[in-house]
Amino acid sequence: MTRITSKGFLQLFAVVVMLLGSAPTSQAGILNGHPDAFAGVTGSVPYTSFSTNLNGTIDFAVFTAADFNANFGGQGYVPAGPLVYTYQVNNNGASFVSAEVVGIINIANAIGSFGPLNAGDVDSTAESFDGGGNAVWDFSPGSIPTGLSSYGLAFSSPQLPIVGAAQTVNGGESAFAVGVPTPGPIFIPEPSSIIMLGSSLVWLAARRRRG
């Protein structure tokens, strides 16, 4: 499988994304625009390979552990919290999707999947934090065929979100998505009012820096 999981590459890519801002949002899904998303960190970003055979969107939302459980409790993933980073891969291209990789610069834990969120969603067969510091969900041997989506993909972190990057692969090529949330350098402070303010400022500052 062709997968770029170098910690240095994805970390550098995430830093560049922080400076440039995120890509435009795309189609709506259950995570995209979720009303319970932590500090409004929710949306959708496109991915497209050079051949365009591998393309689609990644919907995302960040939740507190309590809000995640209120919406998706009992669907497989048990969050360690205090924040839960969630994603769903939608395959609109001619190629299948065999794995999803989210670049992580800082602390993350308790990786897993939850769902199905829609009929026909494909669950991952393995989830792990690789040696390069990335969150990886494998879908082989079944993979995600054209027109279908993944289960919800999730991990927990004690740190506030910044704008980062993800990589979708199909075994022969890969596509990058700019603008997914990833844990930043700032730990969640107390009280809860500071949590909301801090997350909003970190997230919005990165998204507003557009060339």
- Per-residue burial over 48-85, b if 16 or more Cβ lie within 10 Å, else e, is bbeeebbbbbbbbbbbbbebbbebbeebebbbbbbbbb
Q: Name the region of 74 (left: φ>0; alpha: ψ -120 to 50; beta: rest).
A: left
Per-residue pLDDT of 115-132, as tens digits, reads 999 999 999 999 999 977
**The pLDDT value given to residue 163:** 96
**The pLDDT value given to residue 132:** 77
- Of 140, 151, 167, which Cα lies nearest the Cα of 56? 167
**The pLDDT value given to residue 151:** 98
Q: Which residue ranges in the chain fall short of pLDDT 70?
A: 1-28, 190-211
Residue type at 161? Answer: P
Q: Residue 70 and residue 185: Cα distance in Å, rounded?
A: 27
**The pLDDT value given to residue 168:** 97
pTM exceeds 0.95: no
**The pLDDT value given to residue 206:** 55
